[in-house]
Structure 1
Amino acid sequence: MDGTAHEHEPGGEAPREVGAKGPDELRRQIERTRGELGDTVEELAGKVDVKGRARARAADLRDKAGAMTIQLRSTAAQAGHTVQDKAHAVEHTFQHRAHTVEHNLPDPVRNAVEAGRRHPRPVLVAGVAAGVGAVVAVEVWRRRHGR
């Protein structure tokens, strides 16, 4: 060997020479080593501080949960607006079609519908009576035909 010590660089890189060529270079090497040592000590202290790491992780998770909550509320609000808009469009289309059908009805039917709107109870009673009559008619038919 040539008398100079060799040291491996962190990360498995090629060895570098450790020996200093003079006092200034030695001072620079010492300062660099102190800096590296300080970084290493700081990194180790961070790994040893389990409570601090847990607090930092909890804070990070709280931030993410808060952001997710805001995003979900925004998405839900947008979905609500979309549903509301579509419901209004369907309602408008239904009203337009109902209006068109109503105006195309023959006068006697239109008059009966308007009378039903003005006096809904008699129409309801008549509807129930018609329903009962239909049930009775079906039952009579079934008995006569043996079904």
Structure 2
Amino acid sequence: MTMEDVRKNDGSSQDLDALRAEIERTRAELGDTVQALAAKADVKARAKEQVEQAKANLALRVQDAKETVSQRAHEAADVVSVRAHEVSVRAHDAGEAVRRNPVPAAAIAAATAAALVLALWLIRRRR
């Protein structure tokens, strides 16, 4: 229906206003559709958007990896600290045991020294 058809039918001003409003809505929808199609057709812009999105995703993954490595390093340091303390306590306890009763430790040391001397003597003798 054209504007002349409306005039011929002796339409009221409300019909004209409604028709004009409908035309404006249609133009706006058509403009939106054209913009959407133009955006889809712009391959370069779409490729650039995908590259930017990939960069952002990669940056997030790198940040997550850094945080994970940092967290695990702190956990490992804590474990090493605990283990070092345990070894220190055991060494202290062993030292205390030797101080309280030095005879078994001296016997073990003497036996080890004798074994080393015997091994060296046998090696030299075979030559």
Question: Could you say whether these structures have the same fold, taking a TM-score greater than 0.5 normalized by the shorter chain as the test?
Answer: yes
Structure 1 stretches of 4+ with a deviation exceeding 6 A read: none
The correspondence for 1:129, drawn from 100, 112, 116, is 116
The correspondence for 1:40, drawn from 33, 37, 40, is 33
Query: Is 1:102 the equivalent of 2:95?
Result: yes
Question: What runs of 5+ residues in structure 2 fail to find an aligned partner?
Answer: 1-13
RMSD, aligned CA: 3.1
Residues 47-98 of structure 1 deviation map (CA, whole Å, 9 limit, x = unaligned): 1001100000100110110111011001100000000110110110111011
Post-superposition shift, 1:112? 8.7
Q: Distance in 2 between matches of 1:36 and 1:131?
A: 102
TM-score calculated relative to the size of structure 1: 0.62
Question: What runs of 5+ residues in structure 1 fail to find an aligned partner?
Answer: 1-20, 117-122, 137-147
Residues 5-63 of structure 1 deviation map (CA, whole Å, 9 limit, x = unaligned): xxxxxxxxxxxxxxxx7110011101100110011000100110011000001001101
Post-superposition shift, 1:102? 1.5
- Structure 2 counterpart of 1:75, which letter? T
TM-score calculated relative to the size of structure 2: 0.71
1:41-120 equivalences under 5 Å are 41-105=34-98, 106-108=101-103
Post-superposition shift, 1:126? 3.7
Residues 112/95 of structure 1: CA separation in 2 closer, same or farther (3 Å cut): farther
Residues 130/77 of structure 1: CA separation in 2 closer, same or farther (3 Å cut): farther
Q: Distance in 1 between matches of 2:28 and 2:75?
A: 59
Q: Distance in 2 between matches of 1:86 and 1:63?
A: 35
Q: Secondary structure at the match of 1:42?
A: helix
Residues 23/45 of structure 1: CA separation in 2 closer, same or farther (3 Å cut): same
Q: Distance in 1 between matches of 2:62 and 2:80?
A: 27
Q: Larger helix proportion, structure 1 or 2?
A: 2
Q: Larger strand proportion, structure 1 or 2?
A: 1
Q: Secondary structure at the match of 1:22?
A: helix
Residues 48/67 of structure 1: CA separation in 2 closer, same or farther (3 Å cut): same
